Amino acid sequence: MQPPAVVLTEYAPEDRSALELWWKNAAVAGYLGDLGRLLRESEVGSRMTDGYIARPTLRWMARPSPTGEPFGFIAVQVTGDRDASYAVVPPLSGGVNIAIDPLRCGGGLGPATMKALLAQPELADLATLGGAVDVTNLPCLKMLLKLGISRGALRGSGRKVFFDFVIPRTSERDE
C-alpha cells in the first residue's frame, strides 16, 4: 500500500484550534501533557533534563498537501552542551513530540509524519533525535517498531515508566 502523503508546514497560531480539539482526547493529553507547555517558547540557553536549549522549538503541522487540513503535529526541542563561554554547542540532539488527530489514528499517518520529520533540512546537524514513550502507549511503541526504531532503557519518572528511544542521524561527521 502507498504510504500517505505528508507535507510539514511550520506551526502558525491559526493551527491552535485544531490542536485544542485533539487535546480533548485523553490519550493525546495524557501522553503528551499540557498543550500550552508544548507551544510555549523556551529560552535558548536554559537548562533542560538532557542538556541546554540550543534554538527555539521547531514545530510543524502535518498535512496531505501544503494547504490541506492538518492531521498531525510534530515538535522538536533541540538541546546541546554548553562551553566555557556558556554558548550552546554540539553535539545537538532533538526531543520529539508527535500527535495525530485522534480520529485519524491507526492509518499509518504517525510513521509517515516521522519519516517526513527525518527529511527536514533544519534537523540535518543533529547527532540524534529521540524521545520517551510511556510503556503503556501501545500505538506509539508499534509506530516505532514499524519505523525500525529500537526501544532504549526503561526509566521511571514520578508514577510513570518510559522507554527512551534514540534515532541516530547521518551527518557529515560520519561520512
Ligand X SMILES: CC(C)(COP(=O)(O)OP(=O)(O)OC[C@H]1O[C@@H](n2cnc3c(N)ncnc32)[C@H](O)[C@@H]1OP(=O)(O)O)[C@@H](O)C(=O)NCCC(=O)NCCS
Binding site for ligand X (CB under 6 A): 27-28, 31-32, 98-100, 105-111, 131, 133, 137, 139-140, 142-143, 146
In angstroms, give the least distance from the CB of 142 to ligand X.
Answer: 4
What is the full DSSP assignment across 71-105? Answer: -EEEEEEEEEEE-TT--EEEEEEEEEEEEE-GGGT
Closer of 119 and 145 to ligand X (Cβ): 145
Name the residue with the smallest CB distance to ligand X.
Answer: 110
Closer of 54 and 100 to ligand X (Cβ): 100
Q: Closest Cα to residue 29, out of 64, 73, 95, 79? A: 73
Q: Closest Cα to residue 115, out of 79, 91, 73, 147? A: 147
Closer of 92 and 100 to ligand X (Cβ): 100
In angstroms, give the least distance from the CB of 53 to ligand X.
Answer: 20
Closer of 30 and 90 to ligand X (Cβ): 30
With vertex at residue 145, the alpha carbon angle to CA 140 and CA 148, rounded to the nearest 5 degrees, is 130
Instruction: Please state whether the peptide bond connecting residue 91 to the residue before it is cis, i.e. omega within 30 degrees of 0.
Output: yes
Rounded Cα distance between 102 and 71, Å, is 9
In angstroms, give the least distance from the CB of 174 to ligand X.
Answer: 26
In angstroms, give the least distance from the CB of 86 to ligand X.
Answer: 31
